[in-house]
Amino acid sequence: MTGICSIIEVETRKVLKPFPVSNQTNSFRVLFIMAKAIIKSFRFRINPSKAQSAKLENTLNLCRELYNAALAERRDAWKLNRINITRFDQDKQLPEIKQTNPEYKEIHSQVLQDVLKRLDKAFQSFFSRVKQGVKAGFPRFKGKNWFDSFCYAQSGFNVSGNRLTLSKIGKVKIKLSRQIQGKVKTCQIKRELNKWFVIFTVETAIEPLPKTGESVGLDMGVSAFVTLSDGTQIDNFKYYESTQKKLRVAQRSISRKKKGSNRRRKAVLKLRKIHQKIKNQRNDFQHKVSTYLVKTYDLIAIEKLSILGLSRGILAKQMNDIAIGNFFQKLEYKAANADKELIKVQPHFTSQDCSSCGNRVKKDLSVRVHYCLVCNLRIDRDFNAAINILNLAVGQTVKGSKWNNSSCLPLESTSNLL
């Protein structure tokens, strides 16, 4: 059986070039909650020197080689001998790898262990998908543009002032735009286009926000990003759609360049920067909207939508542009951190049922006004759905609710609030 060492020895090594970017210098995300403790990640920009950048690139390259070699060993062992190799079996080979390949001595031991852990997670996810009967997707080998991070799991890093000390790398300049709160668990170094970032995973207590006593239902849309049950409407800026002309020009420029040429590489980098800007604009907008909602309302009701189904429908491009799944994720972790309540309700007939009398008024997607012949309620379709979503969340019976027709005014845009 071929071991990782021999696989690494025969693999051709290539120099990595700067890859992926984000104009956003820091952000945090909640991973899970247990009791009153919460896991966040803080993201900061780092500015390594040329020598340190070369070391970071070399570390990424060696980690990618190790990942591919370990994947090949597990695949071949099962394919040829029906032997199941575990992560712990491969962990035991790391000392031998360092002896036969001295360049791996320049990488912290826990960084190498985390690479094998990442591969094991990929296999566990693969087996889980097989059991569920969905498209499995066997773990893939990583090309030079598909492996952009490595992680110090428990030790090997330290922050002092504006310097981040990384084992085997050195002291790197870091832009600490905010104070790191909580106990640092891991330190991940990530490359995005031609920039480097560090992501600290920390365990900290939740930070409750003052209670407002307000509740709101949210209905996501295309013409408007979100409509609130209090009559407020937040505009959809359609960042991808408004940038399509620039994308077409950049894509045509690539098609005219010879494959493998330096000019084509520059044209690809230019295209990726445009896509990165769209991503940053969308993330910035969603962070502002989600923060506003969490600060303003104690209870937020949303629909339990099938994101995959929406991304494959007739409005797939528009749905992907507003990125509903990412927005809901931001709402969820911010509400948890602020000790606010987020409730998901079933989306069935929220746009059809009348929010005043409960009568079901069937209408096509092209009909944007809800008009009930029973109670003569005439309001915006999304406004009506937002009210129904809130009613379902608080357990209120729609038929028993009262609605004042005089409050059915044109929706207010909150672009100036953001």
pLDDT digits (tens, 9 = 90+) for 119-166: 999 999 999 999 988 888 999 999 988 899 999 998 899 999 899 999
User: Which of 305, 293, 269 minimizes the C-alpha distance to 385?
Assistant: 305
Listed range (114-118, 170-174, 366-370, 380-384) with the worst mean pLDDT: 366-370
Q: Establish whether 230 is a catalytic residue.
A: no
Instruction: Pick left, alpha or beta for residue 265 (phi over 0 → left; psi -120 to 50 → alpha; otherwise beta).
Output: alpha
**Which is the catalytic residue, given 303, 321, 353, 380?**
303
Residue 231 predicted with pLDDT over 80: yes
Calculate the alpha carbon distances from 181 to 40, 189, 204, 251, 401 in Å: 9, 19, 7, 43, 45
Tokens 């909640």, residue?
Answer: 30
Residues 204/181, Cβ–Cβ less than 8 Å: yes
Confidence of residue 265 (pLDDT cuts 50, 70, 90): very high
Bridge partners, residue 190, by sequence: 149, 197
Return the structure tokens found at 348. Answer: 């069935």
User: Which of 116, 202, 193, 192 minimizes the C-alpha distance to 157?
Assistant: 202
Q: Model pTM? A: 0.79
Q: Would you say how long the chain is, in residues?
A: 418
Q: Establish whether 303 is a catalytic residue.
A: yes
Residue 15 predicted with pLDDT over 90: no
Bridge partners, residue 175, by sequence: 45
Q: How far apart are CA 332 and CA 351, in angstroms?
A: 23
**Which is the catalytic residue, given 73, 148, 219, 321?**
219
Bridge partners, residue 245, by sequence: none
What is the reported pLDDT for 21?
33
Q: Establish whether 219 is a catalytic residue.
A: yes
Return the structure tokens found at 165. Answer: 């000390």
**What percent of the chain has a predicted confidence (pLDDT) above 90?**
62
Count CB neighbours of 118 within 10 A: 19
